Every structure is written in structure tokens, then in C-alpha cells.
């Protein structure tokens, strides 16, 4: 029979062998140095243009996509394995074509502004078609098949639409007009690429510099020091690490791989099953995309699409993110009580005095948040955050960043950005098709006709679309497409833009733990050696409160900090009680085992508390008090056990 320590060792060995992104080539020698130099220069170029040397928007976005694609063709193999460091001839051809597309737009940008999508030349159309194919292919390599397939369906629709019935019918476009339109500021180089070129890559660079300065490591040690020794400590460390990493990271799967390497073996060691450990990690890492300031890059894209200031979006997302983690923490704590899972021995916890002495590592994050709240532009705030990370690292010999470490951080930033560059460009194709064909407007009209006067039905429809699009697709792309398809309809029904877009974004995020294609859960299951399906459903159970929270945006706008202070405080209190009630119902435990009648009662109570009506608050509160009283009576009869 395996001990917990043996199982944890096996999990650690599995984690060490786990490779995420097997398509990535591994260079050595001079090739490695050359690639790192090119990759670092790409990131440095963006920082320079955004702060010092402005470029024409179209030219800048073109370089962002095409040079990013060229680097990605070097790094990502076309096949399922990396193939060592050899780059085949067809990838060199793709690189040359990417750079040729870049040069063509740069040299002809003034003429292209006047004729794109209206009177394109034959060469315009050829370059645009080649560029579009390259974007779809690099998205396939970096993000999988889901988004490219959807993109190809939309491209096909442009040409078959005139022969389709009903809402899908439209007049049609010539091939040259379509490609010249889509390979312009109206499509690939439109608002999605605007967000990735101006904001996303900058904040990914900020995260890379924080990691290089050992702030990411400090996050983990801080979480272990504060929560590792309490009941169910390792799982609570995972939850808290999810919050901390969420402030700087933009990918649920990347979070799982980064923190799951240490958290899953640690949870297994104290008694959590493989499935539970993987589910806790997946849920906690997924929630990180809801945490400001980065929010999985979604906040920047949302600001670009809606025109709402980024700081307003980040502030509005604070309480919903908090509710996600309150629910997650409650599930973890209840399971620890039920299974009598203890924390780590005090001797294995980091020294609190030492952690306090290293608190200066949080300075870059504090400076970033302060500059954003003080009215600095997002670009200036992100740049100052990067500078602060470098300067802060010099305060200790252990964390000091020299030239080599700075170059490696720039290289890491580029590598982590490539998928987002490709995804945003590919999503731009879909957004462009929706605008060109008018399908987005017709789809909104269909939502209005199906939902009638019911805003609840419209929101339910939006939820399903966001969850479906998010299955197997990066959050950024899922949100961009869902926002283009359903947000206009929600707004026409009187739902405020901030509510509509945060609602869609929230479900696009939690699709990462939603079966049947739950990317974060699958990654965690691979690390833990658990069944992916069981892990996915367990992840949903841990995050069950998260599936209700977005509806509170509509029924209780105070959750988004809309309204007076009293209404916000009341909304937060009732929402917290609501998600706790749902956690008790889901875990079938409230100081005692709960049967189905009591679980159903707590479920109703939780929904009442989260509904926003005064009578619902009273009813939900009464149910929760009744359930708690019953638990106290049960405990007193059983000697407090």
C-alpha cells in the first residue's frame, strides 16, 4: 500500500516528465543564442514603439503579427512533436512569406488605406490571402485546432452565404474584396490585434520580469508560509497561489503547469486524491484569469471593444473574482474537514520573518496598481511596472537581474505572447467576417426574437455560447467572438455594456474547467495522473458558485461597484453568504452530513441570496440560519464531533 509520501514522489516525477507544448522546438548552441536574441528584440521593439518611437498603427500591428508569426514558425513545429532544432524548408518558406507580407504593407500603406476592401489590386488580394492563411496556420500550431476550424467555417460562409436560407443569407463578396478587407484594420489588424500589440504583450512582459526577479517564487512561498500549516493547507496554498499568479498571468493552462508542478504533489502528500488535487489546481488556476490587473488579457480586449476605460473594468472585476475564490476556498476547507486532512508540519514552512524581509518583491505589482489607479495610461503603468521589477531585483544578490537575465525575460515574454498574438489575429478574421456580412447584427436580432422580452433568457443564451466557444479555445478568442456575436443583442435589450461584456468574459474563462473540453482540467489531470473526465466534473463542483456569479452582474449591479456604498456592502455580504450556501449544498456538509432535502434547501437559499431582491435576501438568510442551527443541534447531540 502506498503512503502519501510515496504517492507525492510519484506525482512529482510525473510532473517533471510532463511537457506542455510538445510542438516547441529546442535549439542549442548558436541557434539558441540567435533565437533568444531575435525573440528578445521582438519584445523590446514593442516596448520602444509604445513609449519612445511611435509608428503608424497599421504598420505597427502588421509587424506585431507578421514578425510574431515568423518567430512562431521558428519555434513551433507543424507536427505533434518538436522535431529537435531542425527547421524544415516549408517553415522557412512560411517565415519568408510572413516577412514579405509585412514589407508589402509597410511599403504601400498609404495607397492601401484608400483601396483596401474597395478597389484592391491583384497583388493586394494575393498578399492578403497568403497572410490570412499564415495567420490560421500559426494559430493551429500555437493554440490547437478549435479556433482555426471555426475561422475556416466563417471564411467559407463568406462565399456560400448567398446560397444559404433565412438569417444566414446575404448578398456575397468577391474573393479579392474579401481578403483585402479581412487583411486590414477591419479584420486581422483590427481591435483584437490592437489589444494584443499595445497592452497584452506589455503585460506579459511585466509578468515575465516579475518571474525573472523571483516574485513568482515569492508568491508561492508566501502562500505556503501563510496557509501551508492550516487545515487542508496545501490545497489552500493552491487557492491563494491562483489569486497571486492571476495578478500577473494570462492563461489558465499556463498557470496549471507553472503551479501544479509543486502544488499537486504537495496536496497528494497530505491525503487529497489525485482527482481532487487536480481539480483544486485547475479551478484555482482558472480563476486567476478573473483577477485584475491582467485578467487573462481580457480586460485590455474588453476596453478596446467597448471603449470603457481599462481601470473601470479592472475595478468592476474585483468583487466577482473575490466571490470565485471565496467559493473555491470554502469547498477546499469543507473537504479538509470531512476527510480530516491536516496541513504541513511547521518545520517545513518558510520562515515568516524571512518572507517579510522579502516583501520588497511585491513593489512592482504595487507600483503597477498605484499608477493605474492614479490615472497613468495603461501603457505607461505597464512600462513603469517592468522598470520597477528590474530595479527591485537589484536589492538582493539572490534576485539581481543583469543583462543576461533581462534578455532571458524579454525572450520569455515573447514566447508567452506568441499564442496570444496568433489567437487575437485569428479572432480578428471572425470579427471581420461578422462585420462584413452583417451576420453579427442578424444574430443579435435572432437573440432578441427568441428571448422576446426576457433578459434572463438572453443571458442564458449568451452563457451557453461563451461556454461552447471556450471549449478547446483560448479565453481571449472565446471572449472576442462571443462578444461580437451576442453582446450587441444583450445591449439592445437594455443590458449595460459593462455588464454584458463581463458576463460573457466570465463564462469564457470558466469554460476552461467545463466538460467536455476543459483545457485547464485536462492539463491538471495530466500532471496528477487522474482521469480527465472525473477531474473536469470535480473542477465544476469546486467552482459551482462561479457559474451563478455572472447572473448577479445583472440582478445586483452593485457587485460591479455600480451604486452607492451601502448597496455595494449589502450586495457583497449577501453574495458571500450565497456562494457559501451553494458550497455547503455541493459538498453535502455543514458541520454534519447533509441529505438531499437540506442540500436542496441550501441551494435555493444560495440562489435567493444572490438574486438581489430584498425578500430573497431575507428568505436565503433564514434558510442559512436554519441550516446552521440544525448543524449545531446535531453537533451537540454527537458530543461536538
pLDDT digits (tens, 9 = 90+) for 580-634: 999 999 988 888 888 888 999 999 999 999 888 889 899 999 999 998 888 888 7
Cα angle value 68/70/72 (rounded, 5°): 70
Across 452-609, where does the E strand assignment appear?
none
- The candidate with the shortest Cα–Cα distance to 284, out of 512, 584, 587, 572, is 512
Percent of the chain at pLDDT exceeding 90:
54
83 falls within a domain: yes
pLDDT at 63 over 70: yes
pTM: 0.87
Write down which residue in 190, 213, 238 finishes a domain: 190
pLDDT at 81: 62
**Residue 589 φ/ψ, nearest 5 degrees:** -155, 135
139 falls within a domain: yes
Instruction: Using pLDDT thresholds of 50, 70 and 90, give the confidence band for residue 82.
Output: low
Q: Which residue has the cell 504598420?
A: 59
Q: What are the C-alpha distances in Å from 172 to residues 121, 154, 455, 485, 575? A: 19, 13, 33, 19, 49
Greater confidence (257 vs 17) lies with 257
279 falls within a domain: no
Beta-bridge partners for 589: 593
Say which residues have a Cβ less than 8 Å from residue 383's Cβ, sequence separation at least 6: 47, 50, 51, 202
Say which residues have a Cβ less than 8 Å from residue 312's Cβ, sequence separation at least 6: 498
Residue 124: domain span: 27-190
pLDDT at 118: 81
39 falls within a domain: yes
- The candidate with the shortest Cα–Cα distance to 42, out of 87, 82, 72, 22, is 72
Instruction: Using pLDDT thresholds of 50, 70 and 90, give the confidence band for residue 568.
Output: very high
**Residue 503 φ/ψ, nearest 5 degrees:** -60, -50
552 falls within a domain: no
Residues 474, 505: Cα–Cα separation, whole Å: 12
pLDDT at 546: 83
**Residue 593 φ/ψ, nearest 5 degrees:** -65, 140
pLDDT at 16: 45
The mean pLDDT of 170-174, rounded to a whole number, is: 88
Write down which residue in 173, 190, 207 finishes a domain: 190
Residues 116, 132: Cα–Cα separation, whole Å: 15
58 falls within a domain: yes
pLDDT at 9 over 80: no
288-345 tens-digit pLDDT: 889 888 787 788 889 989 999 989 999 999 999 999 999 999 999 999 998 889 888 8
Contacts 24+ apart (CB under 8 A), 84-88: 84/25, 84/26, 85/25, 85/26, 85/27, 85/28, 85/31, 85/32, 86/25, 87/25
Torsion of CA 414, 416, 418, 419, to 10 degrees: -170
**21's grid cell:** 507544448
396-450 tens-digit pLDDT: 888 889 999 999 999 999 999 999 999 999 999 999 999 899 888 888 888 778 8
pLDDT at 1: 40
pLDDT at 579 over 70: yes
Q: Which residue has the cell 506585431?
A: 64
> Structural domain tally of the chain?
2
Neighbour count for residue 382 (Cβ, 10 Å): 29
Write down which residue in 166, 190, 214 finishes a domain: 190
pLDDT at 17: 47
Instruction: Using pLDDT thresholds of 50, 70 and 90, give the confidence band for residue 515.
Output: confident
pLDDT at 76: 93
pLDDT at 483 over 60: yes
pLDDT at 12: 45
pLDDT at 84: 65
554 falls within a domain: no
Q: What are the C-alpha distances in Å from 154 to residues 151, 229, 426, 434? A: 5, 52, 11, 8
Residues 307, 314: Cα–Cα separation, whole Å: 14
Contact between 147 and 477 under an 8 Å Cβ cutoff? The reply is: yes
Percent of the chain at pLDDT exceeding 70:
95
529 falls within a domain: no
Amino acid at each position: 500500500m502506498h503512503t502519501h509520501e510515496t504517492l507525492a514522489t510519484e506525482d512529482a516525477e510525473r510532473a517533471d516528465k510532463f511537457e506542455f507544448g510538445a510542438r516547441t522546438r529546442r535549439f542549442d548552441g548558436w541557434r539558441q543564442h540567435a533565437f533568444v536574441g531575435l525573440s528578445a528584440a521582438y519584445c523590446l521593439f514593442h516596448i520602444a514603439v509604445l513609449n519612445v518611437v511611435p509608428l503608424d498603427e497599421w504598420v505597427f500591428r502588421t509587424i506585431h503579427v507578421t514578425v510574431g508569426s515568423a518567430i512562431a514558425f521558428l519555434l513551433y513545429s507543424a507536427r505533434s512533436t518538436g522535431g529537435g532544432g531542425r527547421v524544415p524548408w516549408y517553415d522557412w518558406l512560411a517565415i519568408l512569406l510572413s516577412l514579405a507580407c509585412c514589407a508589402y504593407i509597410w511599403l504601400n500603406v498609404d495607397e492601401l488605406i484608400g483601396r483596401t476592401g474597395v478597389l484592391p489590386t491583384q497583388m493586394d488580394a494575393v498578399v492578403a490571402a497568403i497572410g490570412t492563411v499564415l495567420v490560421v496556420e500559426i494559430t493551429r500550431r500555437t493554440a490547437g485546432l478549435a479556433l482555426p476550424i471555426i475561422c475556416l467555417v466563417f471564411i467559407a460562409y463568406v462565399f456560400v452565404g448567398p446560397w444559404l436560407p433565412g438569417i444566414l443569407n446575404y448578398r456575397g463578396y468577391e474573393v479579392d474584396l474579401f481578403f483585402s478587407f479581412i487583411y486590414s484594420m477591419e479584420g486581422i489588424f483590427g481591435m483584437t490585434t490592437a489589444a494584443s500589440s499595445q497592452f497584452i504583450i506589455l503585460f506579459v512582459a511585466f509578468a515575465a520580469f516579475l518571474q525573472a526577479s523571483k516574485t513568482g517564487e515569492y508568491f508561492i512561498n508566501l502562500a505556503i508560509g501563510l496557509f501551508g500549516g492550516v487545515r487542508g493547507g496545501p490545497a489552500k496554498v493552491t487557492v491563494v497561489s491562483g489569486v497571486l499568479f492571476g495578478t500577473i498571468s494570462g492563461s489558465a493552462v499556463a498557470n496549471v503547469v507553472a503551479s501544479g508542478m509543486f502544488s499537486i504533489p504537495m496536496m497528494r502528500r497530505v491525503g487529497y486524491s489525485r482527482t481532487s488535487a487536480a481539480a483544486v489546481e485547475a479551478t484555482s488556476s482558472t480563476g486567476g484569469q478573473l483577477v485584475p490587473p491582467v485578467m487573462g488579457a481580457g480586460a485590455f480586449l474588453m476596453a478596446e471593444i467597448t471603449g470603457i476605460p481599462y481601470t473601470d473594468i479592472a475595478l468592476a472585476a474585483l468583487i466577482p473574482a473575490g466571490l470565485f475564490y471565496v467559493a473555491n476556498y470554502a469547498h477546499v476547507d469543507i473537504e479538509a474537514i470531512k476527510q480530516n486532512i491536516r496541513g504541513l508540519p511547521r518545520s517545513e514552512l518558510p520562515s515568516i520573518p524571512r518572507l517579510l524581509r522579502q516583501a520588497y518583491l511585491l513593489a512592482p505589482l504595487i507600483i503597477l496598481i498605484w499608477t493605474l489607479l492614479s490615472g497613468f495610461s495603461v501603457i505607461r503603468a505597464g512600462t513603469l511596472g517592468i522598470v520597477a521589477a528590474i530595479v527591485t531585483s537589484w536589492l538582493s544578490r539572490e534576485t539581481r537581474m543583469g543583462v543576461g537575465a533581462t534578455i532571458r525575460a524579454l525572450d520569455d515574454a515573447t514566447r508567452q505572447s506568441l499564442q496570444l498574438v496568433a489567437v487575437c489575429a485569428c479572432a480578428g478574421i471572425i470579427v471581420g467576417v461578422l462585420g462584413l456580412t452583417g451576420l453579427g447584427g442578424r444574430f443579435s436580432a435572432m437573440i432578441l426574437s427568441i428571448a422576446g422580452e426576457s433578459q434572463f433568457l438572453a443571458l442564458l443564451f449568451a452563457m451557453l455560447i461563451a461556454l461552447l466557444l471556450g471549449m478547446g479555445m483560448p479565453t481571449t478568442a472565446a471572449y472576442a467572438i462571443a462578444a461580437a456575436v451576442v453582446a450587441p443583442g444583450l445591449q439592445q435589450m437594455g443590458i449595460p455594456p459593462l455588464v454584458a461584456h463581463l458576463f460573457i468574459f466570465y463564462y469564457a474563462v470558466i469554460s476552461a474547467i467545463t466538460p467536455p473540453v476543459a483545457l485547464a482540467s485536462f492539463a491538471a489531470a495530466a500532471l496528477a495522473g487522474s482521469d480527465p473526465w472525473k477531474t473536469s466534473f470535480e473542477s465544476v463542483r469546486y467552482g459551482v458558485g462561479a457559474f451563478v456569479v455572472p447572473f448577479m452582474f445583472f440582478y445586483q449591479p452593485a457587485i460591479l461597484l455600480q451604486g452607492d456604498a451601502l448597496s455595494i456592502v449589502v450586495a457583497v455580504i449577501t453574495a458571500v453568504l450565497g456562494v457559501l450556501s451553494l458550497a455547503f449544498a455541493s459538498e453535502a456538509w455543514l458541520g454534519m452530513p447533509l441529505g438531499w432535502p437540506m442540500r436542496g434547501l441550501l441551494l435555493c437559499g444560495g440562489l435567493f441570496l444572490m438574486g438581489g431582491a430584498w425578500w430573497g435576501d431575507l428568505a436565503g438568510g433564514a434558510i442559512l440560519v436554519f441550516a446552521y442551527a440544525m448543524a449545531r443541534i446535531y453537533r451537540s447531540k454527537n458530543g461536538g464531533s
